[in-house]
Amino acid sequence: MNNKMPKQSHRLSFAKTCTWRVLASADTFLLSWLLTGTVAIAASIASLEVLTKMFLYYWHERAWATHYKKVFDR
């Protein structure tokens, strides 16, 4: 039995980052709109968090990939 976890590429991490960001930004926009009742404020909130959360998610993905590589390479 092969216990090696396949390596996750930077390209896959980036693709997952982008698709997650679309879903998460839509959620942020809808929640902000519901809470404020104003589309402009909701759009401002959603646009502010897009880039920061993309970087955070990408870093998080790479940290997990590094961690699991160490675990499975034992």
* Token output for 20: 């997650």
User: In whole angstroms, what is the distance from residue 56 CA to residue 13 CA?
Assistant: 12
Given this model, what pLDDT does residue 53 score?
84
10: phi then psi, degrees, rounded to nearest 5: -65, -35
Q: How far is 50 from 57, CA to CA, in rounded Å?
A: 11
In angstroms, how far is CA 72 from the centroid of its own chain?
24
pLDDT tens for 12-70 read: 888 888 898 899 999 999 999 999 999 999 999 999 888 788 888 888 888 888 887 66
The confidence score (pLDDT) of residue 64 equals: 86
Beta strand extents in the chain (DSSP E only): none
User: What residues contact 60, with CB distance under 8 A and at least 6 apart?
Assistant: none
